[in-house]
Structure 1
């Protein structure tokens, strides 16, 4: 059978549609792989540090090691990307506190919001407070900038006479680590419990504590031994 001239554009259109669908599927699979690798890496690094092998991360993510390296050329690059978003969130929180006209208000805001972030993401809490190798340069540099801003915020609050004189940066680390003990049935309850804990800590940090109403209490699971 002779083919008409009009058949060729029709067939070409069909090929283009099928090719686009295949390309989109490949891109979707690659995106899903990337997200799964990041989720697995975040949990693994939080629990085991940078010593966890790439092959083990690949196994848990159900992909090949080559797939991991295709997205992230080094383990340090994977670590940095895994914690990039929460690191940016923490940096923004501290910058917001520094922008507050009242040093104590800015300090209190930072404590409450940082504790909330860490209550929802224990993995990042451990990454933020851990000693990291110089190879994780981007993450470490961003974290160090944030810590320097925190030191400025602490100094401002002390100079204003609101923050107790013996308060140190490590006390913020302790406050964030305390949120790891929160056990709740939902993210909403974790946030509520974290805010109440933050309010208690903020009052204890004040140079001249003035009792103020706490956020509502949260019903948490209790277990007796």
Structure 2
């Protein structure tokens, strides 16, 4: 009987953790990282204390919620570094980061800010940012990226990208691709008037 109770408790704990993470991912993706813990608990149908039993701080919850996106982001930057042409590698990374951001507002804020501070997430993010800086340096040395470009310009592009409003995820991605193409032309040392991806009809005002 004791073993059965212990197994049931462990099962309940696993279910609660999975529910918290599922709710947190949806909330952070749609609304950003400012969604408070108490709101995550309410949507998960759990008490705030239960959330804190699984995640002692909000940073821990953010890191767990964004673990898969962090792996994807690191892979994107590594792919860019592996490209033979520095500008093509840089363009690929900017385009894909903006596409990820179009689908997940919370992750881009966590990645480009100092949050979350959970050690594993922070270490992986810092490593990826160093690789991103290396990619920027390569593109500048090749004469493809303007000399006054700084990493914060990617932050600015992501912040502007967050302003894209469309109900359907595929429309947000399509609009983000066109915006990324515009940004990349402005980042070039000697911009060329390349064709843009198709335009997307968007509302003129925020909902």
TM-score (norm 1): 0.77
Alignment-derived partner of residue 72 in structure 1: 55
Of the candidates 150, 164, 174, which is equivalent to residue 132 of structure 2?
150
C-alpha separation between the residues in 2 aligned to 1:190 and 1:198? 12
C-alpha separation between the residues in 1 aligned to 2:45 and 2:74? 33
Alignment-derived partner of residue 136 in structure 1: 118
1:82 aligns with 2:82: no
Of the candidates 102, 109, 119, which is equivalent to residue 126 of structure 1?
109
C-alpha separation between the residues in 1 aligned to 2:38 and 2:104? 24
Alignment-derived partner of residue 86 in structure 2: 103
C-alpha separation between the residues in 1 aligned to 2:140 and 2:41? 48
Q: Matches of residues 1-225 of structure 1 in structure 2 within 5 Å?
A: 27=11, 33-42=16-25, 43=27, 46-48=32-34, 52=36, 54-55=37-38, 57-72=40-55, 74-132=57-115, 135-223=117-205
C-alpha separation between the residues in 1 aligned to 2:201 and 2:24? 32
C-alpha separation between the residues in 1 aligned to 2:198 and 2:64? 36
TM-score (norm 2): 0.83
Higher relative contact order (CA 8 A, sep 6+): 2
- 5+ residue gaps, structure 2: none
How far residue 30 of structure 1 moved from its aligned partner, in angstroms, is: 5.6
Confirm or deny: 8 A CA contact 2:33 2:110 kept in the other structure: no
Alignment-derived partner of residue 3 in structure 1: none
**RMSD over aligned Cα atoms:** 2.6
Structure whose alpha-carbon radius of gyration is higher: 1
How far residue 41 of structure 1 moved from its aligned partner, in angstroms, is: 3.3
The worse-fitting range, judged by mean Cα deviation, of 109-118 and 119-128 is 119-128
- 5+ residue gaps, structure 1: 1-18
Alignment-derived partner of residue 6 in structure 1: none
1:174 aligned counterpart, secondary structure? helix
C-alpha separation between the residues in 2 aligned to 1:192 and 1:56? 31
Going from structure 1 to structure 2, the CA distance change for 1:56 and 1:196 (only over 3 Å counts) comes to closer
How far residue 73 of structure 1 moved from its aligned partner, in angstroms, is: 5.0
